[in-house]
Amino acid sequence: MISEWRKQRERGALEAMSGRRPGRKSDPVAAENARLRGLIDKLEGELATATELIEAQGKVSALLQQISRRSAEQK
């Protein structure tokens, strides 16, 4: 009787463990934080690029104004 109970217990334990994957449970908060950190890095890169473009446009505008003034003075 005891040996039969042990067999049933072992089968039950194996069946209960069969649906679980080994290892730590995934943490949804940590996964979301990692996703958001990646998004922040991407957006910071895009912001740096946009800032450089705006600065370059300002320099081009200033240069064109100087050229326009010189042209007007020569006439």
What global pTM score does this model have? 0.56
Which pLDDT tens digit goes with each residue over 11-39? 776 666 666 666 677 889 999 999 999 99
Q: Assign 14 to helix, strand or coil.
A: helix
> Using CA atoms, how far apart are residues 16 and 21, in angstroms rounded to an integer?
11
Nearest-10 Cα torsion for 68, 69, 73, 75: 20
More confident: 59 or 2: 59
Task: Spell out the domain ranges in the chain.
Answer: 33-75
CA 70/CA 50 separation, integer angstroms: 30
